[in-house]
């Protein structure tokens, strides 16, 4: 699975903005691999919420060492206290254990997710304890390669837009204007704004 900026998509985006057009000419056609692995990606997002990338990497490393494989069955072999001891809060550890229980029991299934609309997919993800708007949108884009995701809650994306377009401010009204402009290929525009902000696509 992957998000690939084709010549056709690049031409579409370039027509929408001269600044983005210039960036696309500089960077070229971008692509990013998506995982398609909903459960481990959800767990990874839960671990990384509200902490630095470095801290998240350390904690996730300890967690993988503990469970060996990030599957519901392997997680349920350890208790919440052991998960917490990897360096995360009790709330995060509980959310992860509860997610594993729900998937293992069949209470929660991801089988129908690929067929859902973007809005219904994000709504379904947000119904999971511990998953908010930003995490749901990141799963939609970087796990399930949805093409029209443009997350207002993503600071890197907002900063990238400000940088590319030399804006003095960014608010939801301005953001929605860009989101509407790039529909139905907003995810691809986001890749370029991420690159402009930090030199990489997430």
pLDDT tens digits for range 131-176: 999 999 999 999 999 999 999 999 999 999 999 999 999 999 999 9
In this structure, the dihedral spanned by the alpha carbons of residues 29, 32, 36 and 42, taken in order and rounded to 10 degrees, is -140
Instruction: Supply the pLDDT for residue 198.
Output: 80
25 and 112 belong to one structural domain? no
Q: Of 94, 117, 142, which closes a domain?
A: 142
pLDDT confidence of residue 199:
67
Contact 48, 130 (CB under 8 A): no
Domain count, the chain: 2
* CATH number of 127's domain: 1.10.340.30
62 and 124 in one domain? yes
Q: Are residues 55 and 95 in the same domain?
A: yes
Prediction pTM value: 0.89
Low-confidence stretches of the chain (pLDDT < 70) are 199-202
- Give whole-number Cα distances, 88 to 45, 75, 93, 107, in Å: 12, 15, 7, 25
Q: Among 112, 122, 113, 117, which residue's Cα sits nearest to residue 151?
A: 122
Contact 157, 190 (CB under 8 A): yes
Is the domain of 43 the same as that of 23?
A: no
Same domain as 193, residue 134: no
181 and 158 in one domain? yes
């Amino acid at each position: 699975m992957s998000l690939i900026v084709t010549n056709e998509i690049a031409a579409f985006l370039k027509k929408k903005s001269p600044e983005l057009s210039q960036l696309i000419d500089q960077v070229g056609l971008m692509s990013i691999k998506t995982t398609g692995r909903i459960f481990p990606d959800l767990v990874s997002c839960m671990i990384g919420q509200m902490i630095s990338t470095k801290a998240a990497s350390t904690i996730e490393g300890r967690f993988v060492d503990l469970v060996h494989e990030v599957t519901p069955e392997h997680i349920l072999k350890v208790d919440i206290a052991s998960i917490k001891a990897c360096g995360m809060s009790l709330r995060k550890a509980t959310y992860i254990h509860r997610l594993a229980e729900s998937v293992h029991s069949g209470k929660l299934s991801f089988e129908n997710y690929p067929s859902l609309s973007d809005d219904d997919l994000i709504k379904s993800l947000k119904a999971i304890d511990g998953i908010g708007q930003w995490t749901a949108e990141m799963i939609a884009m970087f796990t399930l390669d949805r093409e029209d995701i443009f997350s207002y809650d993503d600071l890197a994306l907002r900063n990238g837009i400000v940088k590319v377009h030399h804006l003095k401010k960014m608010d939801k009204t301005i953001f929605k204007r860009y989101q509407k402009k790039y529909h139905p290929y907003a995810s691809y525009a986001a890749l370029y704004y991420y690159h402009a902000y930090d030199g990489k696509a997430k």
